[in-house]
Amino acid sequence: MKSLQRVQPPVFPAEKVVIPEAKSFSLNNGVPVYMIEAGTEDIMRVEFTFRAGQVKEYLPLLSSTTNMMLTEGSENYSSEELNRILDFYGVFLNSSAEKDSAGIVLFFLSKHIDKVLELSREILFRPVFPESEINALMKKRLRWYLVNREKVQNLAVDQFFESVFGKHHPYGHQVTEPDFERMKPDLLSDFHSKYYTPDNMAVIVSGRLHEKTIELLNYYFGDQKTKKIYIEDSGNILKGEKRKKVFINKPGTVQSAIRIGSTTINKRHKDYPGLKILDSIIGGYFGSRLMKNIREEKGYTYGISSSVSSLDLTGYKIISTEVSQKNCQKTIDEIYKEIRLIQNKPVSNEEMTLVQNYMSGEMVRMFDGPFALAESFRSAWEFGLDNEYYYRLAEKIKTINPDEITELANTYYNLDELYEVTVGSK
Amino acid sequence: MIKYNRFSLENGLRVLVHEDKSTPLVAMNILYDVGSRDEDPQSTGLAHLFEHLMFGGSVNIPEYDMPLQMVGGENNAFTNNDITNYYLTIPSENIETGFWLESDRMLELDFSQKNLDTQKNVVIEEFNQRYLNQPYGDAILKLRPLAYKVHPYRWPTIGMDITHIENANIEQITKFFFSHYAPNNAIISLTGNIGYDLAFKLTQKWFGPIEKRQVKRRNLPVEPEQKEERILTIEKDVPSTALYKVWHIGPRNSADFYTLDLITDLLAGGESGRLYTKLVREKKLFSEINAYITSDIDPGLIIVNGKLMQGIDVLFAEEAVNEVIAGLTGKNGIKDEMEKVKNKFESSTVFSNTSILNKAVNLSFYELLGNPELINREVDTYRKVTQEMVIEATRRYFIPSNCSTIYYKSTRKE
């Protein structure tokens, strides 16, 4: 038998990404619904999303507490009943409050859609906010908070948001212990009636859709009304803190957490796809420069990464790692060195091709299956964008060149603008 | 119903293929039948360190990750007590690159001293990040040697002592490779956009020429039956006192496995679990509480752990946990509750199997257990558990002489 030549098999270019379009329609009261038919199993994912995130809160914890209380009992069900019934039907419910939006996502077998939507209406539109339940929740949350504040990575990221967005803006304000005593029934119920309204809501449905999906959504949600409540403009101003470098001393820790970054453009900006590619080269995948340098070359860390994220009012980029105390400063120096390098020296064609090919594969993964499709849809839709954004990203991945990367690095990685947060022991 | 085909090569390599044309991707999983239980007590953590070295270059390929990323692929790996498992996903047109990469590192590794030194540091930082720099992070490190006295499950996958990692040398590592990494000690599964014929052809082409190897025979000491309760008290500057309790159970293939799995779901499956409802919601003794069984191949553990609310006495809280567990043997019918956890198990299995990667990982593992059909049968087996079985197993396993407990006490004044 001829012996095998162990050389790399031919490399085929990624096929063009084809993304199924979401069908959109409105409920009787105007609530927009987006439906993505996909998958091989009779399961569904339904997301109810509201503009009810942290950005709307005037007290820390208000948005997340209102969101968590949704499943703590409604007009017709106690919290135990709600949870027991959801579990009985094998439903997975995730509730979350992010910086801009808040809501719930349910995963279930399509045949249970009727029950799931009935309970969703209870959770979203008929919650009750009993003081005893709120107090119990806040005591629990305080324990979780205290444990989280023992972790250097949490201290670092909280401080990073404060530094970058300002301590008075809801994107940046940090939670402190006394905040846990401020959550009262009338505050939560006020927040709920202002922001959990049909006017402020959208529904994203994906999976093998039950034939009665539209009918049932209309039945349970189509006649919900928005109460006219005057909402005063918060007047919040996004303004980073003056101090660019912050060190937080946490005695007894064996590793330091480092966060370096600043605000930047968000998805609505035409340069955003290019910035995503630049970010991948810096620290966005396993073969990135930071990973190669700090982990694979020097062994200072288990992991280092960078990311670019979009918010409604702005965007931000952040480099994150945990390293041994003794290598902390060296790591920071290397991070700046890498940024200067990419600003001054064009990436090689080989590295350019590598990141282009890697990201083309990522694009395939982003649209693989009903859940990935729904998440990708949502993260464009939230910014008023649609699949055109992803086709533009795919095109940019294909056509970008080293000079463009250099230019983007000089435009969007101004060293003087970067914030540097370190948490460790002196 | 997940359909799959199996075949094996002359060199002993076993392969499972499940075709799913709805995805443009293929997942490739390679399980090596070696874990931290196969380590010498004098040099623990080697299986996991080795997993890191598998990315450091093989005989014909200087670097693993680069060519894979070049074809849009992504990969990762994990090591546990029993297995070392590598996986990748890749657009189907480039799957052959996956075969080329994986077969080359099964053939022979070629990493440098520098690579070894760097990966030792990376693993030490992983140890720091996961276990030393987290509140309660060391609890699991203390729990194992309390529950196991002779079986290698007494040390964690990361290693018993960080000096074992520091002292690892190239000779040790090379020996480890040839005694555990072999076609006859591996299972491959391929799921997604790949048919049987192509899978067979490519496996034959790339893995066929690798010769069978002499795999080190497994001869592990059997953990003697625990005769009396074990208690360890740790005092530390943590925000809350925590409680950890473990009980010995049988191996993964024992008849009781799914009964015990169901028991921990009754106790802590979701927000409506008994422990959460009674001790977090009603009595407000804990801020969080969890219960699960380890899926270890050799006799494993039931683990219950929770963090206490401020001012609650740990012995009082422990008593309350014991009461909830004892409640499982009550005479009252728990038909609805049983039905609830069974439905949840079924739905969670359906959701898990929507991912080609999960299917690939599961198929390899079930094949290792000697029964790939588990991927389709688990739900039925779980559904067949009865209340009598729950009562019997609760009485048998949840007894003080079978239990090890850690009181992780907060020294903080509030």
Contacts of B348 in chain A (CB under 8 A): 90, 92
The dihedral built from the CA positions of residue B295, B296, B302 and B303, taken in this order, carries a sign that is negative
Task: Look at B122 and A295 and tell me if their CB atoms are within 8 Å.
Answer: yes
Whether A43 sits inside 8 A of B351 (CB atoms) is yes
Distance of residue B94 Cα from the nearest chain A Cα, in angstroms:
6
Q: Which residues of chain A lie closer than 8 angstroms to B60, CB-CB?
A: 6-7
How many domains are there within chain A?
Answer: 2
Instruction: Please indicate, yes or no, whether residues A212 and A275 belong to a single structural domain of this protein.
Output: no
pLDDT at A2: 60
Same domain, A160 and A286: no
Q: Quick check: A285 contacting B, CB < 8 Å?
A: yes
Residue of A109, A71, A70, A72 whose CA lies nearest to A89:
A109
Residues A70 and A199 in one domain: yes
- Inter-residue contact A328 to A258 (CB < 8 Å): yes
> Which chain A residue shows the shortest CA-CA distance from B99?
A9
> What pLDDT does A234 receive?
81
What is the SS3 assignment for A173? coil
Structure tokens at B77: 């790996």
Mean pLDDT by 10 residues, chain A (426 residues): 83 86 96 95 96 95 98 94 95 97 97 97 97 96 96 98 97 97 97 96 97 97 89 87 97 95 98 98 97 96 97 98 96 98 98 96 93 96 97 97 98 96 94
CATH code for the domain of A116: 3.30.830.10
Same domain, A266 and A118: no
**Is B133 at the interface with chain A, CB within 8 A?**
yes
Please tell me whether residues A32 and A79 are part of one structural domain: yes
Distance (Å) from the alpha carbon of A232 to chain B's nearest alpha carbon: 37
Tell me, rounded to whole angstroms, the distance of Cα A98 from its chain centroid.
Answer: 7
Say if residue A196 is in the same domain as residue A257: no
> Is A201 in the same domain as A302?
no
Provide the residue range defining the domain that includes A249: 245-424
- pLDDT at position B46 is 94
Tell me whether residues B118 and A40 touch, CB distance under 8 A.
Answer: no
What was the pLDDT predicted at B9?
Answer: 98
How far apart CA B286 and CA B268 sit, in angstroms, is 13
Strand B25-32 to B186-192 pairing: antiparallel
In chain A, residues with a C-beta closer than 8 Å to the C-beta of B63 are: none
Pair (A205, A170) in one structural domain: yes
Residues 6+ apart with CB under 8 A from B227: B401
Asked if residue A13 is part of any domain, the answer here is no
Contacts of A7 in chain B (CB under 8 A): 60, 100
Any CB–CB contact under 8 A between A361 and chain B? yes
B348 at A interface, C-beta within 8 A:
yes
Could you list the beta-strand ranges (E) of A274-375: 301-310, 315-324
- In the sheet with A245-249, reading across from the earlier edge strand, the strands are A245-249, A419-424, A255-264, A315-324, A301-310
Among A221, A254, A270, give the residue marking a domain's end.
A221
Q: Do A41 and B353 touch (CB under 8 A)?
A: yes
Nearest to A297 among B72, B118, B270 (CB): B118
Q: Tell me if A302 and B269 make a contact (CB, 8 A cut-off).
A: no
pLDDT value, residue B379 = 96
3-state secondary structure chain B: CCCCEEEECCCCCEEEEEECCCCCEEEEEEEECCCHHHCCCCCCCHHHHHHHHCCCCECCECCCHHHHHHCCCEEEEEECCCCEEEEEEEEHHHHHHHHHHHHHHHHCECCCHHHHHHHHHHHHHHHHHHHHCCCCCCHHHHHHHHHCCCCHHHCCCCCCCHHHHHCCCHHHHHHHHHHHCCHHHEEEEEEECCCHHHHHHHHHHHHCCCCCCCCCCCCCCCCCCCCCCEEEEEEECCCCCEEEEEEECCCCCCCCHHHHHHHHHHHHCCCCCHHHHHHHHHCCCEEEEEEEECCCCCCCEEEEEEEECCCCCHHHHHHHHHHHHHHHHCCCCCHHHHHHHHHHHHHHHHHHCCCHHHHHHHHHHHHHCCCCCHHHHHHHHHHCCCHHHHHHHHHHHCCHHHEEEEEEEECCCC
- Asked if residue A284 and residue A205 are part of one domain, the reply reads no
Q: Look at residue A9 and tell me if it is in a domain.
A: no
In a domain, A233, yes or no: no
Please list the pLDDT of chain B residue by residue as tens digits (414 residues): 899 999 999 999 999 999 999 999 999 999 999 999 999 999 999 999 999 999 989 999 999 999 999 999 999 999 999 999 999 999 999 999 999 999 999 999 988 899 999 999 999 999 999 999 999 999 999 999 999 999 999 999 999 999 999 999 999 888 898 899 999 999 999 999 999 999 999 999 999 999 999 999 999 999 999 999 999 999 999 999 999 999 999 999 999 999 999 999 999 988 899 999 999 999 999 999 999 999 999 999 999 999 999 999 999 999 999 999 999 998 777 889 999 999 999 999 999 999 999 999 999 999 999 999 999 999 999 999 999 999 999 999 999 999 999 999 999 876
Between chains, do A83 and B270 touch, taking CB under 8 Å as contact? Answer: yes
In a domain, A279, yes or no: yes
Do A316 and A396 share a domain, yes or no? Answer: yes
Chain segment A224-252, per-residue pLDDT in tens = 998 888 888 888 899 999 999 999 999 99
Which tokens is A30 given?
């105007």
Catalogue the E-assigned strands of A273-377.
301-310, 315-324
Interface residue B112 vs chain A (CB under 8 A):
no
Distance from CA of B294 to the nearest CA of A (A): 22
pLDDT tens, A371-417? 999 999 999 999 999 999 999 999 999 999 999 999 999 999 999 99
**Are A160 and A213 members of one domain?**
yes
Q: Is residue A195 part of a domain?
A: yes
From B227's Cα to the closest Cα of chain A, the distance in A is: 35
Q: Give the list of residues 6+ apart from residue B320 with CB closer than 8 angstroms, or none.
A: B278, B279, B283, B285
B383 vs A: CB within 8 A: no
User: What pLDDT is attached to residue A293?
Assistant: 97
On whether residue A311 sits in a domain, the answer given is: yes
CB A277 within 8 A of CB A397: yes
Judged by a CB distance cut-off of 8 A, whether residue A362 touches chain B is yes
Cα B401 to Cα B387: distance, rounded to the nearest angstrom: 24
CB contact (8 A) between residue B25 and residue A8? no
Same domain for A342 and A406, yes or no, is yes
Structural domains for chain B? 5-207 (3.30.830.10), 230-410 (3.30.830.10)
Tell me whether residues A12 and B71 touch, CB distance under 8 A.
yes
Among A84, A254, A285, the residue with its CB nearest the CB of B132 is A254
Give the residue from B284, B304, B317 showing the smallest Cα distance to A140.
B284
CB-CB under 8 Å, A371 with B94:
no
In a domain, A2, yes or no: no
Which residue intervals of A106-212 are DSSP H helices? 113-125, 131-148, 152-165, 185-195
Contacts with B25 from chain A: Cβ below 8 Å:
364-365, 368
Q: CB of B336 within 8 Å of any CB in chain A?
A: yes
Residue in B closest to A85 by C-alpha: B340
**Option in B120, B128, B343 nearest A324 (CB):** B128
Report how far residue A292's alpha carbon sits from residue A289's, in angstroms, rounded to the nearest whole number.
Answer: 5
Chain pair A-B, CB pairs under 8 angstroms: 206
In a domain, A314, yes or no: yes
